[in-house]
Amino acid sequence: MFSSVAHLARANPFNAPHLQLVHDGLAGPSSSPAGPPGVPRRPRKLAAAAATEEQYSCAYGSGRFFILCGLGGIISCGTTHTAVVPLDLVKCRMQVDPQKYKGIFNGFSVTLKEDGVRGLAKGWAPTFIGYSMQGLCKFGFYEVFKVLYSNMLGEENAYLWRTSLYLAASASAEFFADIALAPMEAAKVRIQTQPGYANTLRDAAPKMFKEEGLKAFYKGVAPLWMRQIPYTMMKFACFERTVEALYKFVVPKPRSECTKAEQLVVTFVAGYIAGVFCAIVSHPADSVVSVLNKEKGSSASQVLQRLGFKGVWKGLFARIIMIGTLTALQWFIYDSVKVYFRLPRPPPPEMPESLKKKLGLTQ
């Protein structure tokens, strides 16, 4: 067990290509294979040759593939974010009024006393619409940019710099996803944090437009980029590399020999690990977004200065619980959609044969 943990620690998602080759035991002909002595390394299939005996419904990288990936993003993000609306509501109130909502349990207690059980569902409509649109762009465009950037880099560089590839593809996708999310996020925060402002999206949206015009819906897009782009970069890169590490060092058999259910368990575990890091990375910007959408005349820099270092970390525990579970469920649902529609699901990447020959690793 301890040797597995050691290998996981060394195979962290941010290794440089040269170091990764050393850890994989592929630095040269004289290298010894990684892993416990006496345990043979099982060969893994190339991602490009993922389609084997199974009949897929479409080709990897086709238009249908991207559309169905976007549908998977809608289902995974829309449903999961709506399911955690009560926790999100309490977290937002803790951020904008820490004197009144002093902790997660106190926050739930105060909310129930003031608004009743129905009050915990405030903001569900903009949450569902906004995060469904975000999921469409986040997952759909991620697959698009991953294929696009892989083709630009070429097979060998795409393998060597795969972590950078995941980071770039996810950042590009989230840029557009936040533009789709911003209007509904602004309405949701107004509903959840301003008592008496509005109880429904139908009431909040016209009121916001009348008071501030389109600016009311998009003034939080820059803080959203600050929050969501680092979050999504961590979410995708950490997930991809964690899945790779789990199959390499923890799962006792190759992915090709695992059942669909076993593969989905690995997906869930990797998603939860990624979610914890996502919550920590994005929480300060999330605090700024919550306060900024509540207040009319403030800017992001003014809110950040007023909150201070301690203030931006309010509600972190609630966010870790929410984002960890939410991210794990999102990846589980997204991967399940791929299984249901019989979409290609390439295995963890393996070094191309051409690169092995350059390094003298083939006979």
CATH number of the domain that 319 lies in?
1.50.40.10
Question: 96 or 272: which carries more pLDDT confidence?
Answer: 272
Burial group, residue 115, by CB count within 10 angstroms (0-12, 13-18, 19+)? middle
CB-based contacts of 2: which residues, under 8 Å, 6+ apart?
none
Q: Is residue 51 part of a domain?
A: no
Domain count, the chain: 1
Q: Which residue has the higher pLDDT, 53 or 326?
A: 326
What is the per-residue pLDDT for 155? Answer: 92
> Model-level pTM?
0.75
Domain that holds residue 145: 57-345
What residue has token string 């999330």? 286
12-26, 129-143, 331-345: least confidently modelled range: 12-26
Tens-digit pLDDT profile for residues 225-238: 988 898 899 899 99
The answer to whether position 5 is within a domain reads no
**Higher model confidence: residue 287 or residue 163?**
163
Q: Which two tokens stand for residue 322?
A: 């929410």
Cβ contact 176:137 at 8 Å: yes
Band of pLDDT at residue 297, cut at 50, 70 and 90: low
Assess if residue 156 is contained within a domain. Answer: yes
Q: Does 350 fall in a domain? A: no
- Report the alpha-carbon distance of residue 186 to residue 220 in Å, rounded: 7
Q: Report yes or no on 10 lying in a domain.
A: no
User: Residue 347 has what DSSP assignment?
Assistant: P
* Per-residue pLDDT at 151: 95
Tokens of 75: 């289902």
Q: What pLDDT digit, counting tens, does each position of 253-272 carry? A: 989 899 999 999 999 999 99
The reply to whether 52 falls in a domain is: no
Q: Which has more confidence, 87 or 34?
A: 87
| pLDDT tens-place string over residues 16-56 | 454 445 444 454 444 434 444 444 444 444 343 444 445 89
- Are 256 and 280 in contact by the 8 Å Cβ rule? The answer is no
Mean pLDDT within 159-168: 96
Name the nearest CA neighbour of 246 among 351, 348, 139.
348
